[in-house]
Amino acid sequence: MKSVGITGGIGSGKSTVTQIFAFLGIPIYYADVNAKTILRSNKTL
């Protein structure tokens, strides 16, 4: 399996590209959402 990282500044189209990938059935890992969930649930990190 290949991994692709999407980076860029504000308004550069990261969300648009992610939505297109999701529409095509490509699995998406939302690092920001998952990091916030971990930090909220585990204060000892």
* pLDDT, tens digit, 9 for 90 and up, residues 31-42: 888 888 888 887
Per-residue pLDDT, averaged over 18-40, amounts to 91
Per-residue pLDDT, averaged over 22-36, amounts to 91
Q: What angle do CA 40, 16, 1 make, to 5 degrees?
A: 75
Structure tokens at 36: 């916030």
Closest alpha carbon to 14 in 35, 37, 22, 34: 22
pTM value is 0.66
DSSP 13: S
